[in-house]
Structure 1
Amino acid sequence: DYIHYGKCPGYGKSKEEMETSISTFSKYIIIYRSRPVGVISFKNQGDGSYYLGCLCVIPPYQKKGIGTEAFQYMLSLCPDWKRITLFTPVDKKENLNFYTQKCGFEKGNIRMDQEIEVVEFYMNR
């Protein structure tokens, strides 16, 4: 997203703040057939609330169920979860469909992050 938009939409942070926040998120490299093909990162915000900071799979490996499996793995690591939230740009239709249809998130509020319109997704248990 930083390359596509020239900024980090949905994070509301400068590049420097993003670099700092990277160290506070758990990161898991997604491996498919012995190849690194993506990453998932999330942060425990306390009281069963988690923020999904990144879930990405490189294009040649998308639409194979890899991202869905990575998200399910995250849930297994967070048995106490009560709420999970994330932000993604509104214009990324494939993300919108993935999070609602494959992962079970619901759409929340839409807001502007600098010049980019983003939507919050949430999942409650």
Structure 2
Amino acid sequence: MGLKIEKTKINEVHELLAIQKKAFRPDLKKYKDYKTNPASEEVDFLIYRINHSMHYTIFIDGNIAGGICIIKRSDTHFRLFRIFISPEYQNKGLGSNIISKMESTFPKVKTWSLNTPKDNRRNRHFYEKLGYKKTGETKINDRLTLIEYEKNVT
């Protein structure tokens, strides 16, 4: 599969939002976090993030397959705010490659951070396998607690 990651263009917003909603819909149903879940996000907020963060589109074989949003905390600390891949491209080993490409795109970044649901063992295993370490937790509601992760790159 041909993987390419490029800065998001505003004309990709509707396709990206549809993919994001599809990717996060199971979490929305499970956790009922209507205020924070990406599946309930409006187009205006995605446009805002595209314009005010480092937002990238993931292409597989020339097709839009997902997106990545990175927030710069400092010159040496970036936060992986969101990564999403269309369900038809999930579980194909792309995630590790995508994260690796993003980390190597920013070689001066020494700390990467992110969060993921506490009870999502698959996500937690994935991030831990990539070197992320648990640094804390945040309770969103009675159903959802997020684990905070950090990775220090040497």
- Worse-matched range after superposition: 60-69 or 46-55: 60-69
Please tell me whether residue 52 in structure 1 is matched to residue 71 in structure 2. Answer: no
Please tell me whether residue 104 in structure 1 is matched to residue 131 in structure 2. Answer: yes
AA in 2 matched with 1:27: H
Q: Which residue of 1 aligns with 2:5?
A: none
Please tell me whether residue 122 in structure 1 is matched to residue 154 in structure 2. Answer: no
AA in 2 matched with 1:68: S
**Unaligned segments of structure 1, at least 5 residues:** 10-14
How many residues are aligned here? Answer: 119
Normalized per residue, which structure has more strand?
A: 1
Q: Which residue of 2 aligns with 1:71?
A: 99
**Unaligned segments of structure 2, at least 5 residues:** 1-23
Deviation at 1:52, TM superposition (A): 0.4
Deviation at 1:113, TM superposition (A): 2.2
TM-score, length-normalised on structure 2? 0.67
Normalized per residue, which structure has more helix?
A: 2
TM-score, length-normalised on structure 1? 0.80
- Once residues 96 and 111 of structure 1 are traced to their aligned partners in structure 2, the CA distance between those partners, rounded to angstroms, is 15
Deviation at 1:66, TM superposition (A): 1.4
- Once residues 67 and 52 of structure 1 are traced to their aligned partners in structure 2, the CA distance between those partners, rounded to angstroms, is 13
AA in 1 matched with 2:138: R
Deviation at 1:119, TM superposition (A): 0.2
Displacement over 6 Å in runs of 4+: none
Percent of residue pairs bearing the same amino acid type:
25
Secondary structure class of the residue paired with 1:67: helix
